[in-house]
Structure 1
């Protein structure tokens, strides 16, 4: 196996990538202040990432159609697992490797929606960058006709360990479901830890690690354990989710598989079959609908980063760097 650093990096960017890797390895604390080489940047801002929560809006809307506490917890778990592919592997599949999103500026906005169809009402999205140091992104997703509201915030604390970047996702989401009785059930959703591998060759990819949770106000709890390549079975993107009833640590139902492809229920609950897939995210997803750039205000993400994104997509890294600097200097040191 070749040991050349950055062997997957464009020739013109090898020097900057080698410098970047050395910088990462030399930092003992948080890596968020480091500037990544332009070729590894994604053409979208981090403010767009909350849209991944609802790129399968049918599953989100279906949460409101359940009849029992257990069914709602299963539906929430199914929806959550189905969001992971978009959040953590879509850049790798579309762009060839994981890309670093553009760091939002304070006050940056992102608005979008998923239009109504014959089978579901419209779902709306509002995102705002509410802090710069530390960077924190807040989001609000609502389907008012279904009585569903998701609010949350996210931030990242990054460090370097054993050749990988470790990302601790700080923050959580809260899903409120208005019930026919008039009461509201609440789900607290924590976020998994990330490990970014493939750095040496300039072809980074994400694995999820450790454990995250979905706690319902009714007492039902989903405990989700993530394992990646290099662990049991040698497969990437494995998970196992255990759903426990109120007041018990015993599993009522268990689901497992590959969160970026398919999964199944391995200890079927009432009315389910072990042969039925739990999730299958290989089919089409629905992109969020956004107003045309010319109709956006100057603080909306796609208008704000328009020229930077153009440079990244066209591999014009001089343009991307120049326009990115203009935005960052203009925000931090306005005239």
Structure 2
């Protein structure tokens, strides 16, 4: 019995010693670390990737070379949208004096989760059961990859001090249409202001990766935010504005309105750029104010740091992909390919083993289900998220 315990303890220590944790600069207004790791001749390289892909193809199974990976997981990118921000916009939502003030703050926070995406680089596709656990102040965030094919990510965050709870369930559905990759971000986001009994439901804009005629990335589509308790809603459109002759225009534009659901009366109109400033105009008084300033909110963002190395789970994103991120950062592409192949092969073996035994995998922190429309929903198993081993 003692020998078995000693062996298990030895194995645990060996795993801790082998664990490589890599934390990288988040996506920010300036592009962050991703901008420094663009591959040479990126446009030609990206275009060559799609020469053998037919329009209409589902890209969720597409294998990407490490050369086109930014050193972080998609799970981390989702988390960064919540915990990597200079202004504490989220806690302000709960501090609003009335329902309209709180709703307006929720709209600003929703816009703040939109981050620049670098053309030519993509995050790692999270493995099944991968987690990401980070704290910022009194806000604790936990994410888990609850499905690999299709890729579905779940997020749960709680802030007891401000009475806030977040629940996300998101599934990117990327398809190639010949001149661009259109990625629909399916799923919903819930923000609960517990002390006010208010739940805000919203979706995410979709990502468009243009290949022709001019390569680039853009968030587009419509986002709807609604709170049943206050009977308030917002419609926000992400788009590229057009010039007089249909050329040029301003990229990363947003426009929309906040309105009363019962009367459909527009209370505020909003307009601007999500990577610049978004203004709010009161339709009654005509007065305008700044709703959101990206330079203040998502500029010069800092990466999390390790607070508790022993608390970092083997499933943690920064550990799962640590050795690969290390190889990419050092531009050791041979090592990067070997490490990525090892991770992917290990996942394939585990999947085959479960299938041969007739076993089904279930998430550790969430329960989930699919609707008749093939949409995913998830619920956290824990009432609150404990402090994470990584902090901002």
Whether the TM-score (by the shorter chain) exceeds 0.5 is yes
1:161 paired to 2:177? yes
With the length of structure 2 as denominator, give the TM-score of the two structures: 0.71
Alignment counterpart, residue 227 of structure 1, candidates 222, 236, 239: 239
1:20 aligned partner = 49
Aligned to 1:55: 84
Map 1:11-160 → 2, pairs under 5 A: 17-24=46-53, 26-51=54-79, 52-56=81-85, 58-84=88-114, 86=115, 89=116, 91-92=117-118, 97=119, 99-115=121-137, 122-160=138-176
Q: Is the 8 A contact 2:69 2:123 kept in 1?
A: yes
Change (3 A) 1:287 1:124: farther
2:217 counterpart residue number: 206
Secondary structure of 2:51 counterpart: helix
User: Deviation string for 1:232-269 (max 9, x for gaps)?
Assistant: 76111000121011313231101110001111113456
User: Are the counterparts in 2 of residues 244 and 253 from structure 1 also a CA contact under 8 Å?
Assistant: yes
Cα deviation, residue 9, structure 1: 5.3
**Equivalents in 2 of 1:16, 1:257: separation in Å?**
33
Gap change, CA 1:154 and 1:34, over 3 Å in 2: same
Residue 305 in structure 1 maps to residue 321 in structure 2: yes
Distance 1:269 1:293 in 2: 52
1: CA distance between counterparts of 2:265 and 2:238? 19
Q: Secondary structure at the match of 2:52?
A: helix
Count of matched residue positions in the alignment of Structure 1 and Structure 2: 305
The residue number in structure 2 matching 1:190 is 203
CA-to-partner distance for each residue in 1:44-96, whole Å, 9 max, x for gaps? 00111222123236100001101211111101001111221x3xx1x53xxxx
Q: Residue 317 of structure 1 corresponds to which residue in structure 2?
A: 333
Cα deviation for residue 289 of structure 1 reads: 3.2
Q: 1:216 aligns with which of 227, 251, 255?
A: 227
Matched position secondary structure for 1:322: helix
Kindly provide the CA deviation profile for residues 255-311 of structure 1, in whole angstroms up to 9, marking residues without a partner as x.
1100011111134567x941x321111134654635369532221111110111122
CA distance in 2, matches of 1:40, 1:131: 23
Structure 2 equivalent of residue 4 of structure 1 = none
> C-alpha separation between the residues in 2 aligned to 1:328 and 1:112?
25
Rg (Cα) greater in structure: 2
CA RMSD of aligned residues (A): 2.6
Gaps of 5+ in 1: 1-7, 116-121
Offset, 1:212:
1.0
Counterpart Cα distance in 2 of 1:258 and 1:326: 42
User: SS state of the match for residue 146, structure 1?
Assistant: coil
Q: Is the 8 A contact 1:307 1:319 kept in 2?
A: no
Query: What is the alpha-carbon distance in structure 1 between the residues aligned to residue 251 and residue 181 of structure 2?
Result: 17
Name the structure, 1 or 2, with higher relative contact order (CA <8 Å, separation 6+): 2
Q: CA deviation at 1:205?
A: 3.5
1:142, CA displacement in angstroms?
Answer: 1.5
- Residue aligned with 1:331, SS: helix
Asked if structure 2 preserves the Cα contact closer than 8 Å seen for 1:255 and 1:267, the reply is no
Change (3 A) 1:15 1:254: closer
SS at match of 1:243: strand
CA gap 1:16/1:237 in 2 versus in 1, 3 angstroms = closer
Q: Determine if contact 2:141/2:155 at 8 Å carries over to the other structure.
A: yes
CA contact (8 A) 1:55 1:83 kept: no
The residue aligned with 1:281 is 294
